[in-house]
Amino acid sequence: MAILRIEGAEMVTMAGDVRVESGWTLEAVDGAITYVGPAEELQSAGEPDELIDAAGRLLLPGLVNALVNAHTHAAMTLFRGAADDMPLTPWLEEKIWPVEARMGEDDVYWGTMLGIAEMLLAGVTCFNDMYHLPRVGTRAAMDAGMRMCPSGVLLGILPTADDMLADAIEFTREFAARDEGATAHCIHPMMAPHAPYTCPRELLEKVIAAAQDLDVPIHIHLAETHDNVEWSLDNYGKRPAQAMDEVGLFEAKVLAAHCVYLDYRDIEIVIERGVGVAHCPGSNLKLASGMAPADALFKAGARIGLGTDGCGSNNNLDLLEEARLAALIAKVREDDPTAVPAEAALRMATLGGARAVYLEDTIGSLQPGKRCDCILVDLQAPHLQPHHNLVSHMIYSARASDVCTTIVNGAVLMRDRELATIDLDETVAKAAESAARLFG
């Protein structure tokens, strides 16, 4: 039995209202949270194997790609800075896809590992990843101890689409089976048809059937750009969300990335069908895709989390930056400074992300019974003074580098800015080798 105890923290549990509890204790046994509350009421399971004094630090649930990163392509760290300031379609067709076609296993492994290192140092404890060679990216996450929702990319426009689907089903079955009855492991597979405009209806129908059969979510890009809407109107006679509803996509659990272009009826569908949304404001701004209706979705109770998207279009995996952008652009979009307040942005980064990837029973808040995924934030920096409102500070003032400890499944993966499970020098060197080969 391994006991982890964190004492004396300022704590935002995300269970119920968003508020700061002062001087609380968290205890976890074998990676599962067993106690959250005042120190004097702790009935300890025994002497802790790991005791963390968190005085002067803020304890939060891990960010899902914020802490939960609800949508990324981690191995695209290798593309950082290689092609910027372009529209989405030529960027994909001229700069991204030709290079991806040359990527081998080492490239995906070290690109993903570099992304994991960056995320752990930024307080991200879980990431939802859509990328080629998913077994390789998953191996990187397992080697690092990171929580991951992996999926390969299904591109229905390729002649190999049927083989890709068969392989995706095999991959998903392998990891979904491990999930049964066991919450101790950190790999939660999904199936990922890339987008409606790259996957014909027949392929989508096969994926829906397989995902329902395997009881895993579907990860897809949806209504990302104005062009996507035009394509959908031309090909389905309906806007993207309504077209996908007609196809039956939302009969399965779905995590839809972007959702920039949703009208009133589209939002109703997202709410009625319980669709998860990964809001990716940084990517949407950089590609001039638009501004998603995040405030309306959050207020309507959507499963809305935050994603960084890949490093080709962001160009980092910093989920706190994403939370700040979510709060800021909502105000401009709605012409209303009360849109997406700090509490809402922090919820999207944590429990919202967990809901978006259908892991809210496992992670996203600090409560007994959930897995111990959490982060500590150093509150001593000048830019975090004074302590009027720590929730506000997390959204409007904190930086990724203020995260001093990252814990996944009860294991300390980053302590005092040092990674415990990743050789950072080796990872940086290997990723540089891959980038030089791919872009040389």
Between 249 and 257, whose beta carbon lies closer to Zn ion?
Answer: 257
* Residue of 153, 357, 348 whose CA lies nearest to 255: 357
Q: How far is the CB of 289 from Zn ion (least distance, A)?
A: 11
Which one of the spans 103-111, 134-142, 303-311, 392-400 is the region binding Zn ion (CB under 5 A)?
A: 303-311
C-beta of 223: minimal distance to Zn ion in Å?
A: 13
CA-to-CA distance for 169 and 273, rounded, in angstroms? 24
Least distance CB 50 / Zn ion (angstroms): 36
Choice between 309 and 402, CB closer to Zn ion: 309
Scan residues 163-192 and list those touching Zn ion (CB under 5 A). none
Q: How far is the CB of 228 from Zn ion (least distance, A)?
A: 12
Comparing CB distances to Zn ion, the nearer of 153 and 395 is: 153
Q: Which is nearer to Zn ion, 222 or 342 (CB)?
A: 222
What is the nearest approach in angstroms of Zn ion to the Cβ of residue 307?
8
In the complex, minimum distance from the CB of residue 335 to Zn ion, in angstroms, rounded to a whole number: 28
The span of 131-139, 162-170, 306-314, 326-334 binding Zn ion (CB under 5 A) equals: 306-314
Instruction: Rank residues 309 and 318 by Cβ distance to Zn ion and give the closer one.
Output: 309
What does the DSSP 8-state code read for residue 48?
Answer: -
User: Judged by CB under 5 A, which of 309, 343, 373, 402 binds Zn ion?
Assistant: 309
Nearer to Zn ion, 35 or 91 (CB): 91
Specify the DSSP class assigned to residue 187.
B
Of 309 and 343, which CB lies nearer to Zn ion in the complex structure?
309
Distance CA 296, CA 341 (A): 12
Q: Which stretch binds Zn ion (CB under 5 A): 52-60, 227-235, 305-313, 375-383?
A: 305-313
Q: Between 198 and 365, whose beta carbon lies closer to Zn ion?
A: 198
Q: Which is nearer to Zn ion, 309 or 378 (CB)?
A: 309
**37 pairs with which residues across the strands?**
25
* Shortest CB 288 distance to Zn ion, Å: 15
Amino acid making up residue 102: R
Least Cβ distance, residue 310 to Zn ion (angstroms): 6
The window from 34-42, 47-55, 56-64, 307-315 that contacts Zn ion (CB under 5 A) reads: 307-315
Structure token digits, residue 278: 């990964």
Our CB check for Zn ion shows the closer of 13 and 284 to be: 284
x/- string (CB under 5 A) for Zn ion, residues 27-66? ----------------------------------------
- Tokens standing for 308? 């960084």
Whose Cβ is closer to Zn ion: residue 96's or residue 403's? 96
Binding part of the chain for Zn ion, among 79-87, 151-159, 229-237, 302-310 by CB under 5 A, reads 302-310
d(CA 147, CA 440): 33
* # residues contacting Zn ion (CB under 5 A): 1
Which stretch in 189-197, 201-209, 304-312, 372-380 sits in contact with Zn ion by CB under 5 A?
A: 304-312
Q: Quick one: which segment of 54-62, 87-95, 301-309, 354-362 binds Zn ion (CB under 5 A)?
A: 301-309
Least distance (Å) from Zn ion to the CB of residue 193?
13
Are the C-beta atoms of 194 and 153 separated by less than 8 Å?
yes
Least separation in angstroms between CB 187 and Zn ion: 20
How far apart are CB 71 and Zn ion at their closest, in Å? Answer: 6
Nearest residue by C-beta to Zn ion? Answer: 309
For the chain, give the secondary structure using H, E and C. Answer: CCEEEEEEEEECCCCCCCCCEEEEEEEEECCEEEEEEEHHHCCCCCCCCEEEECCCEEEEECEHHHHEEEEECHHHHHHCCCCCCCCHHHHHHHHHHHHHCCCCHHHHHHHHHHHHHHHHHCCEEEEEEECCCHHHHHHHHHHHCCEEEEECCECCCCCCHHHHHHHHHHHHHHHHHHHCCCCCCCECCCECECCHHHCCHHHHHHHHHHHHHHCCCEEEEECCCHHHHHHHHHHHCCCHHHHHHHHCHHHCCEEEEECCCCCHHHHHHHHHCCCEEEECHHHHHHCCCCCCCHHHHHHCCCEEEECCCCHHHCCCCCHHHHHHHHHHHHHHHHCCCCCCCHHHHHHHHHHHHHHHCCCCCCCCCCCCCCECCEEEEECCCHHHCCCCCHHHHHHHCCCHHHEEEEEECCEEEEECCEECCCCHHHHHHHHHHHHHHHHC
Q: From residue 257 to residue 296, what is the string marking binding to Zn ion with x (rule CB under 5 A)?
A: ----------------------------------------
CB 221 within 8 A of CB 261: no
Where on the chain is the footprint of Zn ion (CB under 5 A)? 309
